[in-house]
Amino acid sequence: MIIDGKAIASRIKDNIKNKVSRMDFKPGLAVILVGNDPASQIYVSAKEKACREVGFYSRKIVLPTNVGQKKLLDQIGKLNKNPKIHGILVQLPLPKGFDEDQAIKAISPEKDVDCFHPANMGKLALIKRIENLDHFLAPCTAKGVIRLIESMGKKIEGKKAVVVGRSNLSGKPSALLLLAKDATVTICHSQTPNLAKETRKADILVVAAGKPQIVKASMVKKGAVVIDVGTNRTEKGLVGDVDFEAVKKKAGFITPVPGGVGPMTIACLLENTLLLSLNN
């Protein structure tokens, strides 16, 4: 069964829109885009559109590539002090010459909508158990991964979960959330010997390797839930990290690319912005 991320995201956005309509202020989200990377521009435009749909106040700040690290940090500092802005996001990756870690650390933890600040990642690492994600701040892609699994009525507790990829953006936070949902978690990466041996054990397989169609049908346990986080632009068009056409015949549930994790990431970004606006 194919998991329709667009439909699930739409329901989350409708719920947020209803809540915002009853509030006496608008949650505010600011996105900083450095340079003119086409993929980043598409992502930022999608976030702007989503903000309009739910009634948020949104700001897009576009800086030229030659602006320099100090000007970027100055801009973040101004947004930290802006009472109309509840969530701040620096679109990653930044162009060469910029220090991404420094930029993330410059965002106030109370406005860090993507939850990548060390203080917020530390909270995620330390938490033992999460009953309900509705009121929990977590990195947006990882939060979307969990929501997709649970939307199918699949229990995570006690399941064997394998995450392929260890990036700070998706792999690590997905693994931490799965742990907090009482799964038994294995993290695989480029140095994992015999990757297929590990992935075949997974009741839940989350693939965030950043390599086109690295996971084949022979690597998947029959009936497994397969969440494809990858977005790769190839000569054949946009493809995930999973060989979708082959794996969908074997998996119990699977997300497509596009239309799976992507829409959920944006929906969870809106949800995090709303939570930050209510907490501050």
Q: Could you tell me if 60 and 31 are in contact, meaning their C-beta atoms sit under 8 angstroms apart?
A: yes
Q: Could you tell me if 124 and 173 are in contact, meaning their C-beta atoms sit under 8 angstroms apart?
A: yes
Cα 60 to Cα 40: distance, rounded to the nearest angstrom:
12
Q: Per the structure block, which two tokens stand in for 165? A: 């990829």
- The CATH code of domain 25-110 reads 3.40.50.10860
pTM listed for this prediction: 0.95
Q: β-strand 232-234 against 237-239: which pairing, if any?
A: antiparallel
- Fold (CATH) for 139-262: Rossmann fold (3.40.50)
Active site residues: 47, 91, 114
| pLDDT value for 100 | 96
Q: What is the CA radius of gyration of the chain?
A: 18
| pLDDT value for 39 | 83
Domain ranges of the chain: 25-110, 139-262
Angle between helices 140-151 and 261-279 (to 10 degrees): 110
Q: Which residues contact 66 (CB under 8 A, 6 or more apart)?
A: none
User: Exposed, middle or buried: residue 73 (CB in 10 Å: 0-12, 13-18, 19+)?
Assistant: middle
| pLDDT value for 37 | 86
Per run of 10 residues, the mean pLDDT along the chain (length 280 residues) is: 97 98 97 91 93 97 95 98 98 94 98 97 94 92 97 94 96 98 97 96 97 97 98 89 97 97 97 94
